[in-house]
Structure 1
Amino acid sequence: MLLVTAYPIAQAFYESLFKYRLTDPDARAFNGLGNYAVVLTDSVWWQAVGVTVLITAITVAVEAVIGFALALVMHRAITTLRPVLRTAILIPYAIITVVSAFAWLYAFDLQTGFVNSWFSWLPAISEETNWFGGFGTSVTVIIMSEIWKTTPFISLLLLAGLAQVPEDLQEAAKVDGATWWQRMYKVTIPNMKAAIMVALLFRTLDAFRIFDNVFIMTQGSQNTEVVSFLAYRQTIGRLEIGLGSAVSVLLFLCVVLISVAFIKLFRVDLSSARGGN
């Protein structure tokens, strides 16, 4: 773990302290926190953060609802159907993200797509709808592709949490006259709090680092640039190693802050959740 994570992070932080462009290595000079000042005072950074937060919030919220519903279906399904259901639900998650992104791109493309012709009967869609011609529609396609691809991940984690809910508590609640919603709110969800936290945390961290779908579908156009793509554009596109490293370090710090916030918010005792003392 130290070799594959700690060293690259340290190297990125080190490079972020220099004014360094790959096309002009002789002009490399120590810049201290100057690169961070440039990034944090640039509206491009804050716009990228806003788009990233928007995509993350919507995708995680929708995936949590759909994933929980799918977990309930798989948990309550009869034994013979469980393997079939789990396999069917896992198919989108098994597809490589780049392949999935290209599939969604071609489906919604104005020239090659079939979505406009299939759904032209809807009020907001016509044969000439350019899904990648504006911010709203572009982000909508990106969000839908994310939800389709990664909802199975959340559903499997929540399914594991449902398996930890004691059946005797459910039966006791039924005997006491609790409705399905009351059992869900008072028994099921509290007893799978750890699984919910892990599912939402992992998925939020992954969504906040979204790159593939934006890179394939829009290349950051129509104001859809996210933080990961901004780091890529600075480092690979403009060869600004210093600025790109600063963006990457800031992205890493954002991920750390998200992790701390989730742990503080849920206040889950993971040792007791797994049966430890």
Structure 2
Amino acid sequence: MQFPGPDMPQKTGLTRQRTRAAWMFLAPMLVVLAAVALYPLAQTIWFGFTDASLNDIDGAEWVGFRNYLEWLDYGNGEGEWLGLLADDRWWRAVWNTLKFAFVSVFFETAFGLVIALVLNAQFPGRAIVRTAVLVPWAIPTVVSAKLWGWMLHDQFGIINDMLMRLGLISAPVAWTATPDTAMAAVMMVDIWKTTPFMALLILAGLQMIPNDIYEAARLDGIGPVRVFRRVTLPLVLPALLVGVVFRALDALRVFDIVYVLTPNTDATRTMSLFARENLFDYDKFAYGSAASTLLFLIVAIITIGFIYATRMDLEGKEDR
């Protein structure tokens, strides 16, 4: 316990001075962030409660929750629910987004962990292998999507040619045009591109682990599997979770790779594509703004819940 003393006022004053200096350095960033993010977000939320259209944004009028949910009464006790929350296409987009995010992040984490463990080992040419692994991540997403679009083409694609030569398929498959395979194709391309990002973050965590721990485990005769479970995985878990959070944020907001590979397809339409279509293609600006608002809320709730649950779990492990 710290008792008041003659130095306490000086320390308090120094703390306040450092706090003011920190806010002064942060102020320009906060102003820019408010201008490019907070204001557009507030505008989007506002338009979701209006009847705005692309032709008359300035003349938008308040309509309440009509874009989200409204009961249309036909008389004689008959009617139907209208609005975003009653739209089957919206809920299909929500399900597609969640499925894409879960599967992609799961495999990217698993493959990234394996690649990071390999790159962390000592072997000749390790620097060249590390550089080669990062190439898919360095390629712009649109370029990667167009590249894989040609590779997955049903007539000219190299994927069908290889599979037919191996005897795995008997006829070409339209991977991105068939509803049964479109989502799998999109997830495969995303996993190929983003796994290096996860591997890089996990590799940074692995290199923070002291080698003395592994030397002690080797002298004690502990097997590699047990070392991984008891030493490597717990120590690299914070870096791994950071990667999962960042990838989950990107996956829940996925747009470009799906838009390039499979545009206007119910099997792969995500929340971002649904919002974009209503905003610009269908001239339902208010409806698209409502979809964008729900997208923001869903991503925020899932991300905050995941971070909170993970933090509680880690604290429980530390307490034990």
Relative to the length of structure 1, the TM-score reads 0.90
What is aligned with 1:273?
none
Classify the secondary structure of the residue corresponding to 1:192: helix
What is aligned with 1:136?
180
Instruction: Tell me, yes or no, if structure 1 residue 21 matches structure 2 residue 53.
Output: yes
Letter in 2 for 1:163: Q
What is aligned with 2:4?
none
Instruction: Tell me, yes or no, if structure 1 residue 119 matches structure 2 residue 151.
Output: no
Deviation at 1:213, TM superposition (A): 1.7
Equivalent residues in 2 for 1:11-160, closer than 5 Å: 11-25=43-57, 28-37=60-69, 38-78=83-123, 81-122=125-166, 125-160=169-204
Given the superposition, is the C-alpha separation of residues 127 and 73 from structure 1 closer, same or farther in structure 2, using an over 3 Å criterion?
Answer: same
CA distance in structure 1 between the aligned counterparts of 2:259 and 2:110, rounded to whole angstroms: 27
Classify the secondary structure of the residue corresponding to 1:21: coil
Letter in 2 for 1:230: F
1:176-208: CA deviations, max 9, x gaps? 332111111111111122101100010111111
CA distance in structure 1 between the aligned counterparts of 2:305 and 2:219, rounded to whole angstroms: 38
Give 1:9's match in structure 2, choosing from 41, 62, 73: 41
Classify the secondary structure of the residue corresponding to 1:131: coil
CA distance in structure 2 between the aligned counterparts of 1:264 and 1:25, rounded to whole angstroms: 39
**Are the counterparts in 1 of residues 50 and 64 from structure 2 also a CA contact under 8 Å?**
yes
RMSD of aligned Cα (Å): 2.0
Instruction: Tell me, yes or no, if structure 1 residue 200 matches structure 2 residue 244.
Output: yes
**Are the counterparts in 2 of residues 218 and 224 from structure 1 also a CA contact under 8 Å?**
yes
CA distance in structure 2 between the aligned counterparts of 1:26 and 1:264, rounded to whole angstroms: 40
What is aligned with 2:211?
167
**Are the counterparts in 1 of residues 182 and 267 from structure 2 also a CA contact under 8 Å?**
no
Query: Which protein, 1 or 2, shows the higher relative CO under an 8 Å CA cutoff with sep ≥ 6?
Result: 1
Deviation at 1:221, TM superposition (A): 1.3
Structure number, greater radius of gyration = 2
Identity %: 37
Letter in 2 for 1:226: T
Instruction: Tell me, yes or no, if structure 1 residue 248 matches structure 2 residue 280.
Output: no
What is aligned with 2:308?
264
**Are the counterparts in 2 of residues 232 and 244 from structure 1 also a CA contact under 8 Å?**
yes
Given the superposition, is the C-alpha separation of residues 269 and 83 from structure 1 closer, same or farther in structure 2, using an over 3 Å criterion?
Answer: farther
Is there any run of 5+ residues in structure 1 with no aligned partner, and where? 271-277
1:111-169: CA deviations, max 9, x gaps? 33122122114565234322233222111110110011111110000011111222222
**Are the counterparts in 2 of residues 107 and 114 from structure 1 also a CA contact under 8 Å?**
yes
Is the deviation greater in 208-217 or in 154-163? Answer: 208-217
**Are the counterparts in 2 of residues 214 and 220 from structure 1 also a CA contact under 8 Å?**
no
Deviation at 1:266, TM superposition (A): 1.8
Deviation at 1:268, TM superposition (A): 7.3
Given the superposition, is the C-alpha separation of residues 194 and 26 from structure 1 closer, same or farther in structure 2, using an over 3 Å criterion?
Answer: closer
Deviation at 1:27, TM superposition (A): 6.6
**Are the counterparts in 1 of residues 150 and 157 from structure 2 also a CA contact under 8 Å?**
yes
Is there any run of 5+ residues in structure 2 with no aligned partner, and where? 1-32, 70-82, 315-320
Deviation at 1:64, TM superposition (A): 0.7
CA distance in structure 2 between the aligned counterparts of 1:132 and 1:83, rounded to whole angstroms: 35
The aligned length equals 269
Deviation at 1:77, TM superposition (A): 3.1
CA distance in structure 1 between the aligned counterparts of 2:276 and 2:166, rounded to whole angstroms: 37
Given the superposition, is the C-alpha separation of residues 25 and 13 from structure 1 closer, same or farther in structure 2, using an over 3 Å criterion?
Answer: closer
Given the superposition, is the C-alpha separation of residues 161 and 92 from structure 1 closer, same or farther in structure 2, using an over 3 Å criterion?
Answer: same
**Are the counterparts in 2 of residues 56 and 208 from structure 1 also a CA contact under 8 Å?**
yes
Letter in 2 for 1:256: A
CA distance in structure 2 between the aligned counterparts of 1:263 and 1:26, rounded to whole angstroms: 39
Relative to the length of structure 2, the TM-score reads 0.79
Deviation at 1:35, TM superposition (A): 1.7
Given the superposition, is the C-alpha separation of residues 268 and 96 from structure 1 closer, same or farther in structure 2, using an over 3 Å criterion?
Answer: farther
Deviation at 1:171, TM superposition (A): 2.2
1:220-265: CA deviations, max 9, x gaps? 3152111110011011111222111111111111221122122122
CA distance in structure 2 between the aligned counterparts of 1:101 and 1:85, rounded to whole angstroms: 23
**Are the counterparts in 1 of residues 183 and 267 from structure 2 also a CA contact under 8 Å?**
no
